[in-house]
Amino acid sequence: MSAQQTYRYLGSSALSRSGLALSTSGGPAPNPRFFSGFLTTPQAAAVGLLAVAEVARTRYFRPVSPASLDPVVTGSRDRLRFESFSGCCGVYARLDALPEGLDGDVLEHGTTNVDVNNPLREALSRVGGLDPLRLSVGPDDLTVETMDGAVVEKKVPLPQRWLRGFAEVQVLAAGFEPRAQLPAAEAATFLRRLPTAGDRSVLWAVPAGRSLRLTSRPVAGAVCLAGAGRLAALRGLLRHARTLTVYGPTVAPGAGALPSTWELDTGALRLSLTLSPEPYRGFSGEGAALAALAGDDVADDAELVSALLAWDPTIDVDALATSAGLDAARVRGALAQLGTAGRVGYDVAEAAYFHRVMPYDAGRAERDNPRLVGARALVESGAVDPDDAGATVRSADQVYRVRRLADDAYTCTCPWWAKHRGQRGPCKHALATRMAGSVAREAV
């Protein structure tokens, strides 16, 4: 079901002689101002902002008319993060303006939508290498006065899939490790010889000297590259980049398609694209967060952890655990719960979580995850009979056998598992088995 949300801006975003003013909507105040100052690498920053905005306008799977979604910006203690999902929700883009990339003052901390309109995109595309670029994230008084204080209303589809995507991406990315790093020249060569838009093949990138070699089969140390044309948004920043770093989960021979992150680093900026395992798969349906959301105490833990989150650039899980009196596993479960409202992200370069401010609704986890609701209903109805190897689960008129594997994953005899083989998260029977096992351990 589609929904609409009205964003109210005190004017349109604009690039003028006085600087770049990004109009905001929502956050800690109705129209907050997060930053005022200069971007130290203006042309690269303009290219990066355009890349994030372009991803938000693009549907990589079954391209149709452009999407109309506004990127999200988060201001923390010393950096700005601009984020978007593609219209198909299969590509997650983020531009981090690092301390080296900012020369100014962080005035507020928070998260908001920013208006990136067509005139602004055209103006950013004309920024030259020597042009100073002043950035004001939020309504600047002069800017508002020159626009006669007009209130601009934009109605866009409510990005409910973005919230689900934020929840899934941070869980998936937390399992990534850096697999390869290419110098700028080799990165440019590699990216420019990739298949173009429309390619839906699943390839694997294997480190080979200073570059990467593509193969059609997964091997140890490889990174999955599904729909290589989805990396097109990186190309504009190539001439400013120092390195391309590729991140992904551990790959075993014979593995199925997996997500990956591809990140260009200029020293002052980092532009990353995280790709879903296959072009037709949006992050909003991956089910990666389900296991973390299955704990009995996760909602209460999330309320506690939420009150302790600060505006440091990254979230220190161990420090949070100490402050909250929880173990690290429960803190990660709480972060997954907060992630269902978009409140937590994961930075693969820092190998750490970060904080967004968005409205938190404890019930969203269940509304967005019907398998979680189904699993809890099975446990509450006594339909799960656990044993040392897993459980027998009665669901409707069927009986399914769930087996626990050595890596704490599960298999099931249900049609869902037969179709997805664990690639889209656990089925409700496996989730119920995990929950029932937790209840049994607590009862001992």
Model pLDDT for residues 307-324, shown as the tens digit of each residue: 888 777 789 999 999 999
Q: CA 22, CA 142: separation in Å to the nearest integer? A: 13
**Which CATH number is 4-158's, of 1.10.287, 3.10.150, 1.10.510, 1.25.40?**
3.10.150
Q: CA 141, CA 147: separation in Å to the nearest integer? A: 10
Domain boundaries, the chain: 4-158, 290-365, 369-443
pLDDT tens digits, one per residue of 346-405: 999 999 999 987 766 667 777 878 898 999 999 999 999 999 899 999 998 899 999 999
**Residue 191 predicted with pLDDT over 90:** yes
Q: What is the pLDDT of residue 35?
A: 75
Q: What is the pLDDT of residue 398?
A: 93
Q: What is the pLDDT of residue 141?
A: 28
Q: CA 170, CA 173: separation in Å to the nearest integer? A: 5
Q: Which residues contact 381 (CB under 8 A, 6 or more apart)?
A: none
Q: What is the pLDDT of residue 437?
A: 79
Domain 290-365 belongs to what architecture?
Answer: Orthogonal Bundle (1.10)
Q: Which of 126-140, 172-186, 288-302, 360-374: highest mean pLDDT? A: 172-186
pLDDT tens digits, one per residue of 54-88: 998 888 876 555 555 678 888 888 898 999 999 88
Mean pLDDT of 321-337: 92
Q: What is the pLDDT of residue 139?
A: 37
pLDDT bracket for residue 143 (50, 70, 90): very low
Q: Where are the alpha helices (DSSP H) in 75-181?
A: 118-124, 141-146, 160-173
Higher pLDDT, 320 or 17: 320
* Residue 280 and residue 200 in contact, taking contact as beta carbons nearer than 8 Å: yes
Q: CA 297, CA 367: separation in Å to the nearest integer? A: 18
Distances (CA, A) of 201 to 9, 35, 58, 198, 246: 41, 41, 19, 9, 18
Q: Which residues contact 168 (CB under 8 A, 6 or more apart)?
A: 283, 284, 286, 287, 288, 289
Strand partners of residue 97: 80, 269
Q: Which residues contact 161 (CB under 8 A, 6 or more apart)?
A: 85, 89, 282, 284
Mean pLDDT of 269-279: 96
